[in-house]
Structure 1
Amino acid sequence: MSEFRGVLRPGRGRHRRRRRAPLKAAAAAAVLVAGSAFAVTSMDDQPECDARAGHGGTHDDHRHGSSTAVGACAPRPAGGAQQHRPAEGHGAGHGAPEGANRRPAGGRPAQVGVPDPESGYDRERCGNASGRVLLSLDDWPYNDPERAVRIGAQLQSQGVRAAFFLINKYASQYPQITTTLRRQGHWVGSHTWSHQQLTRLTDQELQDELRNGVPGNFLRPPYGDVGQRETEMAASLGQRVCNWTIDTYDWQQVGGAFRDVDAIRASVREASAEEKTNGVILGHLFSHFPEALPGIIGDLREQGYLMCRNTGPVTEQVPYPLAC
């Protein structure tokens, strides 16, 4: 059983972390309800994450002295730490669609709903001032693209709106998924073209990664890593940065497996009120985060928090402030 290792603290610039005391996981039976619509396809292939973890890069658990984690999916980079950058085509053999390396002719940058960088916009909260909690799901559901719309349908049935940040290298091969998610009432943003660490790119590479992402005005940078250059270039393309206040660490691997449902659920349940109020929760489409969502939503509601409301279909323009 994974131990809860902390959550992100909101703040400007790079994310700060703090430790929490280990937490005993809740009984699995309380979470894994038989027949739940969230019991979506088991991710037994462990795609992109194994590819990233297995190249000797610096992983978050290693920096914190853990001896149990053997890998991590999309680990957050530490300042100055060597960060593995997956090679082009790293998804091949893990459910990457045919032609996934083919870049589109060019993105369609949006020009509305982007705050002035000097306006005091809180990118960790994505402009959320509603008091409600926004769920967000990143990356791509490898080997099972339709998993995204099944998750979207279940959230829709509960009256919950989420934000999906997709890697366009894959999403561009399944345009119906983005269309369906928006029809279901979920915001769909860009997780760039191929999940490069933006702060390590040249100006031209950065522009290509941003411009070729999922069209719209909502951007989640890989690893949450952006500085002034990246923020300003995104704004020039009509995109605003949306990070998070709570990281579920669902992307971490222990003993060759992703963090389990109990540990993911606990990381949200035990987060501070400051992190939940107007908060944004980070999870991934390839992990056990989708299976943990029923318990997460139930815990938050029991604690008195409301979720972003699903009020029907949306466009590629995400409002600012968030209409949550």
Structure 2
Amino acid sequence: MKKWRGLLGVLVISLVWGLLLDFTIYTTHAEGNPDPQKSTNKNISARGCANQHPVYYSFNLPKNQRKVVITFDDGPDGIYTPKVLDILQRYNVKATFFVMGKSAVNHPEQLKRIVRDGHTVGNHTWHHSDFQLISEKEIENDLLKNEKYIQEELGIKPLFVRPPFGRINEKICRVASRYHYTLVHWDVDPKDWDGRSADRILNWVKEKVKPGSIILLHSGGGEPYLDGSIKALPQIIEYLRKEKYQIVPLQELLKIPPYEKVRKK
């Protein structure tokens, strides 16, 4: 009897631990791989953040329609962003670009083309710093510096923000709430930034996509690491359409406005 009680206790502990890991975000991508063990006590669960602030993660995405969103991080650049935009234009697909200020400032023409082509712009901060490693004030400054630049160039203030590396903690939750941002994560990440093949990227999307998915890809990052992503993008679009998915901008999936204010330039 004691043996079975011991086994039951182990199973219960394992289940609880698994759930905690599922809800705590340690996702990393694009620039480095911070050690999650060093930042565990600073993380809060995505579900916990969603109870207090606007945040969309895998557990609360709308799943009642066959709609998906394709998002692009870390651009714009002068190599991959034009190729991404050309493909989207060819297929008449509207996507969402989480732009990084330190890249955008060097490629303002690509930033303007994103909006001109009918896509949505979100804030991906200026420096792409790990929010576990900087203060709340530094997070605020990084977010607002990018916001100011986007406003100056485009006349809009984005309401969507994607934290670098997908890091969600109490600090970014407070900052996002203070400045009326909605935090946006993803549930399909083929890790296209690491130079993997188009087939591997496509197969990952095929395996993971479902109604309400937000797909994470990249439109910046440096040659040749996104070559597979560029090759995979048309195939991803064709697969989604074959499976009767509608590819929509983020604001259509979430049913919230993408910008707070717009001024005519």
Question: What TM-score does the superposition give when structure 2 sets the normalisation length?
Answer: 0.68
User: Partner amino acid for 1:293?
Assistant: L
Secondary structure of 1:199's counterpart equals coil
Residue 237 of structure 1 deviates from its aligned partner by 1.7
5+ residue gaps, structure 2, are: 1-21, 40-49, 151-157, 259-265
Alignment map for 1:146-185 (pairs within 5 Å): 147-185=80-118
User: Is 2:182 aligned against 1:281?
Assistant: no
User: Partner amino acid for 1:308?
Assistant: V
User: Partner amino acid for 1:162?
Assistant: A
Residue 121 of structure 1 deviates from its aligned partner by 4.7
CA distance 1:199–1:309, shift in 2 (3 Å): closer
Residue 323 of structure 1 deviates from its aligned partner by 7.9
Residue 203 of structure 1 deviates from its aligned partner by 2.0
Structure with the higher helix share, 1 or 2: 2
User: Is 2:70 aligned against 1:139?
Assistant: no
User: Partner amino acid for 2:192?
Assistant: D
User: Partner amino acid for 2:92?
Assistant: G
CA distance 1:151–1:251, shift in 2 (3 Å): closer
Secondary structure of 1:182's counterpart equals helix
CA distance 1:197–1:231, shift in 2 (3 Å): same
CA distance 1:192–1:298, shift in 2 (3 Å): same
> Match for residue 243 of structure 2?
303
Task: From the CA coordinates, give the structure whose radius of gyration is larger.
Answer: 2
Alignment map for 1:223-242 (pairs within 5 Å): 223-242=165-184
User: Partner amino acid for 1:259?
Assistant: R
Secondary structure of 2:246's counterpart equals coil
CA distance in 2, matches of 1:126, 1:186: 24
Contact kept in structure 2, 1:133 and 1:307, CA below 8 Å: yes
Residue 291 of structure 1 deviates from its aligned partner by 1.9
Secondary structure of 1:245's counterpart equals coil
Cα RMSD after superposing both structures: 3.3
> Match for residue 211 of structure 1?
144
5+ residue gaps, structure 1, are: 1-10, 17-59, 61-71, 83-115, 253-257, 311-317
Secondary structure of 2:111's counterpart equals helix
Secondary structure of 1:188's counterpart equals strand
Secondary structure of 1:276's counterpart equals coil
User: Partner amino acid for 1:14?
Assistant: I
Contact kept in structure 2, 1:161 and 1:186, CA below 8 Å: yes
CA distance 1:232–1:201, shift in 2 (3 Å): same
CA distance in 2, matches of 1:128, 1:323: 16
Contact kept in structure 1, 2:69 and 2:249, CA below 8 Å: no
User: Partner amino acid for 1:266?
Assistant: N
Q: Percent identity?
A: 25
User: Partner amino acid for 2:70?
Assistant: L
Question: What TM-score does the superposition give when structure 1 sets the normalisation length?
Answer: 0.57
CA distance in 1, matches of 2:61, 2:146: 21
CA distance in 1, matches of 2:92, 2:175: 35
- Write out per-residue CA displacement over residues 173-228 of structure 1, whole angstroms, 9 at most, x where no aligned residue: 33232221111111111111111001211122111111112441111111100112
> Match for residue 69 of structure 1?
none
Residue 306 of structure 1 deviates from its aligned partner by 2.1
Count of residue pairs brought into register by the alignment: 212
- Write out per-residue CA displacement over residues 133-177 of structure 1, whole angstroms, 9 at most, x where no aligned residue: 1111111355x25x4244223213322111111210120233232
User: Is 2:196 aligned against 1:259?
Assistant: yes
CA distance in 2, matches of 1:231, 1:240: 9
Where in structure 1 do 4 or more consecutive aligned residues deviate above 3 Å? Answer: 75-78, 116-121, 123-131
CA distance 1:309–1:209, shift in 2 (3 Å): closer
> Match for residue 36 of structure 2?
79
> Match for residue 118 of structure 1?
52
